[in-house]
Amino acid sequence: MLDLRQIREDPERFRSGLRKRGRDPGPVDAALEIDRRRRALLAEIERLRADQNRASAEIPALKGKDREARIAEMKVLAARIKDLEPHLASAESELDGLLRSLPNHPDETVPEGTDSSANVVVRTWGTPPAFDFTPRDHVELGTGLGILDFERGARASGSRFYYMRGDGVLLETALARMAMDLLVGEGFTLLGTPMLVRSGVITGAWGGATLDTQQTYKVEDEDLALIGTSEQPLAAYHMDETLDAAALPLRYGGVSWCFRREAGSHGRDVRGLYRVHQFFKIEMFSYAHPDRSREEHEYLVGLEERFVQALGLPHRVVLLCGGDLGLGMAKTYDIETWMPGRGGYSETHSCSNAGAFQARRMGTRFREGARGGSEYVHTLNGTLAATGRAIIAILENGQQADGSVRLPEVLAPYMRWQTELRPG
């Protein structure tokens, strides 16, 4: 959520932010208009309440006729207040709904552009492998190795579901363990999060006025939904808390399954592990001081790069343009890893700075020293290992002519020292 006071001070900045995302800047002026109405009502009601409070202090001392008269007078005043209050309440909820529906303000360094073609490649690492045979995709490889079963997954749960089997399960766990070890070594605190959360937690993290049921699975008859990523419960971890500035940054490694409806993406990436309804992810999350959130962002991307490089996977870092930015984010880097089966670089990691957007909704502040006012923290999140997508890259880049796959050496300790997966 954006800061209303900042919008009042510099509306043009926020209009141009919306334009950068390819959106209509109109809501900024709509918000200012409702806010003017709201403040006028508020001033009026506060004046009346001040009268009421004065009377309230006098009445206990009054006796007989004076007392009756004063109470009668206040009856009228109370009725007037009661009359005005609904108008104020509706202005407030209108304003709140509008503010909640607005996306985050993009960072100045975010490039202009309406879709992913305007994203900027920041750096590239590694060289895509050259095969002297026709490479297979991960579905063919995984099925041949007996570690992935999409057919049975579909029978049990429908498309975009799969069974993972044998060494596939070990491979997934190995990636998760490797990611956790990296984070623990960096001083992150691991958190196994709730995978069902209140819908306010999801909108708080991802934006929007109401729950986006295109992407989120809602539990019937309860105000609970399956998380789309542990970023959501991680953003709620310190909700309604005031943190000590000296404790920042607070860094967490979220460990969870993630669930996505993908209702709007019928027909897109239907094959394989790339876009599935359920996947495992190790997620980084930082609560940072606003003055240091930019460097924190670079640090988190750096860890993602270290992770992919340790696996020896060719990749590039991309800075997303305004039109490609998620609702709640001010700036996002994606890591796109080379996937021979898709014939190009595809997203395996994302790393974002949400600024104060999530913190304002979650009520997470910090205080500098014992006194003084509080301020909202900045929150940042980044994928360290989305195991499904990492497995795509590992299988497809490590494949050999006979359908076997050479595994990255770093995984050996987690794979019972296997260095290779063989069909059969």
Where on the chain is the footprint of RNA (CB under 7 A)?
4-6, 9, 39, 42-43, 46-47, 49-50, 52-57, 59-60, 71, 74-75, 77-78, 89, 370-374
List, as own/partner pairs, every contact residues 30-36 make where C-beta atoms lie below 8 angstroms and the sequence separation is at least 24, other chains included: 30/98, 31/4, 31/7, 31/95, 31/98, 31/99, 31/102, 32/7, 32/8, 34/91, 34/94, 34/95, 34/98, 35/4, 35/8, 35/95
CB of 342 to RNA, least distance (A): 39
The residue among 112 and 241 lying less far from RNA, judged by its C-beta, is: 241
β-sheet bridge partners, residue 344: 339
* Catalytically annotated residues: 260, 275, 347, 350, 389
Distance CA 383, CA 308 (A): 11
The residue among 81 and 410 lying less far from RNA, judged by its C-beta, is: 81
Three-state DSSP at 191 gives strand
CB of 82 to RNA, least distance (A): 7
Residue 6, C-beta contacts closer than 8 angstroms, at least 6 positions apart: 13, 14
CB of 74 to RNA, least distance (A): 3
Q: Which parts of 277-409 fold into alpha helices (H)?
A: 293-310, 357-362, 387-398
Distance CA 191, CA 116 (A): 32
CB of 57 to RNA, least distance (A): 6
178 torsion bin: left (phi>0), alpha (psi -120 to 50), beta (else):
alpha
CB of 15 to RNA, least distance (A): 16
Asked whether the beta carbons of 384 and 310 are under 8 A apart, the reply is no
CB of 40 to RNA, least distance (A): 9
The residue among 149 and 375 lying less far from RNA, judged by its C-beta, is: 375
The residue among 146 and 194 lying less far from RNA, judged by its C-beta, is: 194
CB of 96 to RNA, least distance (A): 12
The residue among 74 and 327 lying less far from RNA, judged by its C-beta, is: 74
Q: Is the peptide bond before 86 cis (omega within 30 degrees of 0)?
A: no
Token pair 């609702």: residue? 327
Give the type of residue at 269.
D
Q: String of b and e for 18-47 (b: at least 16 CB within 10 Å)?
A: bebbeeebebbeebeebbeebeebeeebee
Residue 376 host element (H or E): strand 374-376
Give the rounded distance of the alpha carbon of 134 from its chain centre.
38
Burial classification of residue 51, based on how many CB atoms lie within 10 Å of its CB (0-12 exposed, 13-18 middle, 19 or more buried): middle
The residue among 24 and 73 lying less far from RNA, judged by its C-beta, is: 73
Residue 205, C-beta contacts closer than 8 angstroms, at least 6 positions apart: 231, 232, 235, 236, 328, 358, 361, 362
The residue among 52 and 159 lying less far from RNA, judged by its C-beta, is: 52
CB of 104 to RNA, least distance (A): 17
The residue among 6 and 109 lying less far from RNA, judged by its C-beta, is: 6
